[in-house]
């Protein structure tokens, strides 16, 4: 389908979703949030898609935040609905069951940082800038920033970033565990494409099991998480991909996974 604020492209089993509002530094208004949710639901339902790359148009911003011009006139009830719309998108990405890689260039602030943190892996340009500046607007993060930043970077970093509203470099984000890799701007596309290709070639059912075990099991006690892992491990033995993977290993050839 055609989107107003997104561009969708394909490269083999990798789907790239681009937030395309460069004149607004790719800021997230309600319509863009809804389009992104639909685009990720479609990616989840398309068996030809094995991995997703999410990025923003232009070099200035991944996503510079939520659209302040739209938010300025909200009532508390409208703001609640906007927050829930954003959180629904972030949960849809996080629970997609397929690896999602954020390609981050330029600003990833507010809702943009929240969007990046909902992805499973984050590759950033050395020139990227991160922050949760909502307090400077008399607000708090509303798309999951307080919760995902806490889980990624720890309590102290989450409190500092959210209370000060300051920005950090890509290198500092890497040191805090918010970013997985930091590369030179010229190497960003090559690095993201290689990672996405690797993820797309992996066993998709096993990838979904890993994501579930870490994301869902990680929110429980260690004993419950271990049981979750055991059940997912056992289920993998019912798949053709497991037979293909182990047979290929024994035959010293490369496995070809079909997602069955």
User: For residue 198, what are its two tokens?
Assistant: 């690797």
pLDDT of residue 218: 86
pLDDT of residue 2: 84
The domain made up of 203-250 is a member of CATH 1.10.12: yes
The domain made up of 6-200 is a member of CATH 3.90.226.10: yes
Give me the catalytic one of 35, 114, 175, 229: 114
Are residues 48 and 99 in contact, defined by beta-carbon separation less than 8 angstroms?
A: no
User: Which has the closest alpha carbon to 232: 214, 250, 251, 254?
Assistant: 214
Give me the catalytic one of 7, 35, 70, 134: 134
Identical fold between 6-200 and 203-250 = no
- Domain limits of the chain? 6-200, 203-250
Residues of the chain with pLDDT under 70: 1
- Token pair 């009830």 is found at 77
pLDDT of residue 198: 97
pLDDT of residue 120: 98
pTM given for the model: 0.95
Q: How far apart are CA 198 and CA 254, in angstroms?
A: 13
φ and ψ at residue 59, rounded to 5 degrees: -100, -10
Is 134 annotated in the active site? yes
Is 175 annotated in the active site? no
pLDDT of residue 107: 98
């Amino acid at each position: 389908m055609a989107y107003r604020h997104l561009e969708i492209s394909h490269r083999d089993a990798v789907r790239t979703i681009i937030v395309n509002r460069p004149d607004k530094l790719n800021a997230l208004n309600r319509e863009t949030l809804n389009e992104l949710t639909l685009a990720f639901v479609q990616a989840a339902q398309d068996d030809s898609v094995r991995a997703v790359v999410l990025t923003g148009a232009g070099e200035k911003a991944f996503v510079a935040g939520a659209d302040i011009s739209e938010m300025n006139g909200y009532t508390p009830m409208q703001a609640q609905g906007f927050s829930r719309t954003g959180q629904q998108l972030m949960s849809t990405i996080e629970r997609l069951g397929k690896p999602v890689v954020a390609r981050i260039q330029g600003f990833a602030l507010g809702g943009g940082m929240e969007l990046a943190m909902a992805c499973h892996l984050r590759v950033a340009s050395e020139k990227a800038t991160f922050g949760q500046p909502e307090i400077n607007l008399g607000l708090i993060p509303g798309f999951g920033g307080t919760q995902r930043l806490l889980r990624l970077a720890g309590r102290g970093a989450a409190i500092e970033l959210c209370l000060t509203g300051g920005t950090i470099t890509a290198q500092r984000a890497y040191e805090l565990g918010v970013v997985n890799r930091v590369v030179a701007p010229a190497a960003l596309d090559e690095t993201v494409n290689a990672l996405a290709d690797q993820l797309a070639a992996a066993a998709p059912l096993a990838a979904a099991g890993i994501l579930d075990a870490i994301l869902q099991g990680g929110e429980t006690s260690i004993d419950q998480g271990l049981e979750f892992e055991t059940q997912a491990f056992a289920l993998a033995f019912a798949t053709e991909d497991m037979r293909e993977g182990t047979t290929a290993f024994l035959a010293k050839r490369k496995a070809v996974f079909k997602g069955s």
